[in-house]
Amino acid sequence: MRGGWWRSVVEKIQVWVSDVVLLQPDRDVLRKIKPMFSDSEAEARITDSRRRSDTPPDGAPSGPLASKWTRHKDTSKLISPANRRKYTIIVVGSGLAGASAAATLSEQGYNVKCFCYQDSPRRAHSIAAQGGINAAKNYHNDGDSVHRLFYETIKGGDFRAREANVHRLAEVSASIIDQCVAQGVPFAREYGGLLANRSFGGTQVSRTFYAAGQTGQQLLLGAYQALSKEISSGGVKMYARTEMLDLVTVDGHAKGVVVRDMVTGKISSHAGDAVLLCTGGYGNVFYLSTNAKGCNVTATWRAHKRGAYFANPCYTQIHPTCIPVSGAYQSKLTLMSESLRNDGRCWVPKRKEDCGKPPASIAEEDRDYYLERKYPSFGNLAPRDIASRAAKEQCDDGRGVGPGGLGVYLDFADSIKRLGRKAIEERYGNLFQMYEQITGENAYEQPMRIFPAVHYTMGGLWVDYNLMSNIPGLHVLGEANFSDHGANRLGASALMQGLADGYFVIPATLPNYLATQKPGAVSERDADFKRVEAEVNERTSKLLSINGKRSADSFHRELGLLIWDKCGMARTKEGLTEALRKIPALREEFWSNLRVPGSGDQFNPQLELAGRVADFLEFGELLCNDALQREESCGGHFRSEYQDEGEARRDDDQFSYVAAWEYTGDLSRPKLHKEWLEYQEVHFSTRSYR
């Protein structure tokens, strides 16, 4: 009795002391107030007081991690089939996430409006994905499992991803393959007819399903045929060649979009009961990237300026296997699939004087297979961020190959000798053909030359477990959100996330919001729609009226090269500070010296580009601000001041949070919100692939 009474008193005192610490987190406070705490306990309580998240709750259920998703589905709200047809869902984007979401929601009975700026959903950038899609099916019986895929994704993201979302992604992965096979996606198969697998970076199992070097194209065609069926049945109304230019909120809820018909120039509004953004990433802020030229940040940035938090914008992925820049005339770069590193070996000459020699003339003992040397456990399949920095390291050391010394070799000679040329052709034939068309070099006879380039963005709009942003009704899917990859995405996981979000997650979670809303409560005639539409018209007129001397593309190139130089593969406080000084000046010149030919009431690609570049000029400042405040190195965010012999050095005590930025009206003063990451199944540890 006496012991229990004393413990009760102690617990009450501890709660009181914790509250005091929250008000004054001084390291001596606990010792002054209550000497019963040890130094470690005092430190822990101070740390806890500083780790209070000020983002909305993530919405994940409590309890064991492995059962969270099942429990969440079991307890989520439902919309009856008879009532679903009363709701209208707006889907912006028709790539893997958008097409799968639009098709699935329509199949469930909702009315769907789907928008894309391409002339067909089939031209979404998802089509460019080459190497494969991950799934924890363990077909090779090599030890794979849902838990292993989950853990390797968390580790690959350098322990900067939300645990519950990643585990759900791993759980759903196997169902994606079943869905796509049922659609007729022609995955590669082994001789006996079973689905084939190969390995990707950051793993030691074979879990990647693929369709030669065009997996994204085949998966998109599967989603597109599902979408086409719903368009034909009337469940989906498709708006091609239509670009979203702003988000409409009514009483704080996302209820519609303002769009521009890219053929006629007409600006109009569309109302709905919820808005789904499936618009991809912002890699083109760097100008040169592997993204299609049309990829942009406009939809997510416009949502951000309407109140949506933008999370972790500094987490950008540099892909190690891209065709090197060949000249200043280039406007984009070309990806060479990570799958090539299954059979290709990365090397550079050991001696600088050998860099100009033909690769065949360099003896084996004079070659440095640097990934195999530095990371023997994973070798050439080290994760993308690590492999990219390793390639840059060789080039910075003066041992790069090709024009300007900005390249390393990817050599298939050993694999061709071991397996035969025919086997390599079957696996990568279209990639070798594409490489030869671009470079004029035959990669069967001499090594490919590759160099890192911007490829993917892990940052995006903040979302909760339901994929809803902090703006009620605004849901964000695929690469447009931040939730699954942390500071670095493992290869073959982008397609997995896009289809998981569209086919399986949003159909189960969207009713949690819709059930709280009266269907059809708003219309395009409402004042909020008219106001936003007028603002879009005003912004468009302003772009056309500047009548300066520089093209939008020239501003885009200057911005991109600046951000690549100061906020690319390696970042420093000095470089980021310089970028933050130059970007506002460049933006000011843009709004005084831009020239957009033509008018707004016609097909005008230059006007489209100008609007996108205007948003990049604003977003670029947030990107650099985020990189500057994160004084650590993790994944694709590498601050040169924070490293141990070239390896990223995290600071889990200070920076193990999601940085969710709020627009304040002043681009130079965004407000930082923090969602501290809490792990129950994994533990923070040094990320090692040696």
Q: Annotated catalytic sites, by residue?
A: 384
Query: What does DSSP assign to residue 501?
Result: I
Token pair of 55 as six digits: 């983002």
User: Is residue 296 within 8 Å of residue 42, measured between CB atoms?
Assistant: no
Q: Which of 182, 183, 190, 184 is nearest to 206 (CA)?
A: 190
User: Is residue 488 within 8 Å of residue 637, measured between CB atoms?
Assistant: no
DSSP-H helix ranges across 362-499? 370-374, 384-396, 413-419, 421-439, 494-499
DSSP-H helix ranges across 38-110? 39-50, 68-75, 81-84, 96-108
Token pair of 436 as six digits: 């030869």
User: Is residue 642 within 8 Å of residue 631, measured between CB atoms?
Assistant: yes
Torsion of Cα atoms, 225 then 230 then 233 then 234, to 10°? -140
The structure tokens 């989906």 sit at 236
Length of the chain: 690
User: Is residue 448 within 8 Å of residue 380, measured between CB atoms?
Assistant: no
Question: Backbone phi, then psi, for 49, in 5-degree steps?
Answer: -65, -30
**Residues in a beta bridge with 368:** 348
- Dihedral-angle region of residue 460 (phi above 0 means left; psi in -120 to 50 means alpha; beta otherwise): left
Question: Both ends of the chain: CA-CA distance in Å?
Answer: 55
Three-class SS state of 461:
strand
Query: What does DSSP assign to residue 205?
Result: S
Taking the C-alpha atoms of residue 82 and residue 412, their distance in angstroms, rounded to an integer, is 58
User: Is residue 466 within 8 Å of residue 162, measured between CB atoms?
Assistant: no
Query: What does DSSP assign to residue 639?
Result: B
Q: Which of 371, 430, 433 is nearest to 210 (CA)?
A: 430
Degrees, nearest 5: CA angle 157-162-163: 95
* Dihedral sign (CA 371, 373, 375, 376): positive
Three-class SS state of 13:
helix
Q: Which of 275, 71, 102 is nearest to 168 (CA)?
A: 71
Query: What does DSSP assign to residue 238?
Result: E
* Dihedral sign (CA 434, 439, 443, 449): negative
Taking the C-alpha atoms of residue 136 and residue 149, their distance in angstroms, rounded to an integer, is 6
Three-class SS state of 482:
coil
Q: Which of 531, 27, 25 is nearest to 247 (CA)?
A: 531
Token pair of 191 as six digits: 């001789």
Single-letter amino acid, residue 619: F
User: Is residue 623 within 8 Å of residue 314, measured between CB atoms?
Assistant: yes
Taking the C-alpha atoms of residue 158 and residue 633, their distance in angstroms, rounded to an integer, is 10
- Dihedral-angle region of residue 426 (phi above 0 means left; psi in -120 to 50 means alpha; beta otherwise): alpha
Torsion of Cα atoms, 366 then 372 then 376 then 377, to 10°? -160
Q: Which of 320, 263, 259 is nearest to 290 (CA)?
A: 320
Q: Which of 678, 237, 675 is nearest to 469 (CA)?
A: 675
